[in-house]
């Protein structure tokens, strides 16, 4: 719950309004897991709260560790199963959280898209992923790049960001949080109300090419998304990056690199070229490394900041949606 929501709880419990800050301190600073532990509230008030609310903490239901150090967890949420990944690297430890169970967006390269949509996660389900992974205390960054489209669940995601970054909450710097989207409609609210970083799942500059990979292109074309992004300041603290999975023979040609460079020529951004992590029964294959490097060089020569990212955790099915799909099939 955000502080505003905790104030409502305090009012309903007939507690003084400062009790909202006290409850927030128990939840987000002391990180308790039962209402009984709120010892600066009377026993009667704790009993009342316990009757009407729960803390909502739950531990992972399974885990898998990759040879490269990536750790993948599943949690029970909204009557189903979601995934959370911890990605350690030299100088950071990044948590990748899910925002929905499944997804409506049907991107053709994505295992979560293939599952279809089951439910939205609550802010509590999102925050629980951060608080309940065993590595919780050593995390340095959070990315909303797990299952689901964050801005198809904008209220819960914005509340989770409020709790994550609020001084009453977990006190994370927005500079350590990145939300990834295909450009869904809640993006405008995020750009206006938050200062967290943005990552856009792009995958093609040309509308027809993108539509074949990201069907949502038809609802909100990428040009519209870029026009919206251009209304906000990404030249200083806040960053925008574009994620581009490079598929063999689909979006890896020099011409497509030139189109991309042209589209983003006035956007202060970084482009991440991603080696594809194949999913079962898909016609898509990852582009060869020399093609990806050629693509990068075309972008770099045109002044764009561009990096190549390899897949992590291939041996534990760390591509979005793969572990929970396997669990569903074996259930
Ligand atoms: S890539 Fe993201 S938006 Fe697209 S189907 Fe997968 S989870 Fe949904």
pLDDT along the chain (331 residues), means of 10: 98 96 98 96 98 96 94 94 95 97 95 93 98 97 97 98 98 98 96 98 96 97 97 95 97 98 96 91 93 98 94 66 52 38
The answer to whether residues 82 and 75 touch, using CB atoms and an 8 Å cutoff, is yes
Q: How far is the CA of 213 from the centre of ligand 1 (A)?
A: 10
Report residue 32 as tokens: 């308790």
Give catalytic status of residue 320 as yes or no. yes
Question: Among all chains, which residue has been given the structure tokens 């949606």?
Answer: 321
Q: How far is the CA of 178 from the centre of ligand 1 (A)?
A: 16
Q: How far is the CA of 115 from the centre of ligand 1 (A)?
A: 10
Res 331: pLDDT? 38
Ordered by start, the domain boundaries in the chain are 3-52, 62-330
Domain 3-52 adopts which CATH fold? Answer: DNA polymerase; domain 1 (1.10.150)
Residue with the smallest CA separation from ligand 1 atom 5 is 113
Kindly indicate whether the domain formed by 62-330 is annotated with CATH number 3.20.20.70.
Answer: yes
149 lines ligand 1 (CB under 6 A): yes
**Is the entire prediction scored with pTM above 0.85?**
yes
- The minimum-distance atom of ligand 1 relative to the CA of 111 is 6
Catalytic residue among 81, 83, 103, 243: 83
Q: Which of 16, 163, 53, 141 is nearest to 91 (CA)?
A: 141
Same fold? 3-52, 62-330: no
Res 230: pLDDT? 96
329 CB-near residues (< 8 Å, 6+ apart): none
Res 279: pLDDT? 87
The answer to whether residues 222 and 262 touch, using CB atoms and an 8 Å cutoff, is no
Give catalytic status of residue 21 as yes or no. no
Task: Tell me the pairing of strands 71-77 and 80-88.
Answer: antiparallel
Q: How far is the CA of 89 from the centre of ligand 1 (A)?
A: 24
Res 233: pLDDT? 95
């Amino acid at each position: 719950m955000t502080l505003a929501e905790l104030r409502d709880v305090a009012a309903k419990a007939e507690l003084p309004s400062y009790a909202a800050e006290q409850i927030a301190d128990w939840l987000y600073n002391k990180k308790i897991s039962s209402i009984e532990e709120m010892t600066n509230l009377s026993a009667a008030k704790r009993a009342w709260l316990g009757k009407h609310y729960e803390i909502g903490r739950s531990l992972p239901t399974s885990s898998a560790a990759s040879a490269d150090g990536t750790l993948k967890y599943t949690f029970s949420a909204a009557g189903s199963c979601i995934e959370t990944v911890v990605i350690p690297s030299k100088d950071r430890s990044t948590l990748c959280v899910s925002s929905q169970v499944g997804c409506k967006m049907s991107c053709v390269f994505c295992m979560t898209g293939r599952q279809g949509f089951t439910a939205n996660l609550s802010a509590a389900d999102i925050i629980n992923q951060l608080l309940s992974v065993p590595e919780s205390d050593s995390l340095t960054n959070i990315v909303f790049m797990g299952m689901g489209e964050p801005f198809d669940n904008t209220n819960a995601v914005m509340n989770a960001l409020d709790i994550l970054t609020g001084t009453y909450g977990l006190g994370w710097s927005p500079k350590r949080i990145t939300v990834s989207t295909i450009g869904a409609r809640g993006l405008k609210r995020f750009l206006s109300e938050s200062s967290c970083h943005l990552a856009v799942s792009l995958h093609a500059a040309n509308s027809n090419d993108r539509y074949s990979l990201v069907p949502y292109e038809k609802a909100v074309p990428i040009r519209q998304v870029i026009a919206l992004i251009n209304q906000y300041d990404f030249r200083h603290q806040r960053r925008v990056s574009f994620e581009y999975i490079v598929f063999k023979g689909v979006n890896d040609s020099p011409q497509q690199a030139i189109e991309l460079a042209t589209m983003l020529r006035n956007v202060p951004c970084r482009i991440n070229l991603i080696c594809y992590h194949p999913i079962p029964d898909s016609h898509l294959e990852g582009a060869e490394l020399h093609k990806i490097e050629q693509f990068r060089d075309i972008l770099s020569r045109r002044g764009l900041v561009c990096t190549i990212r390899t897949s992590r955790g291939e041996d534990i099915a760390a591509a979005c949606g793969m572990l929970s799909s396997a669990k569903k099939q074996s259930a």
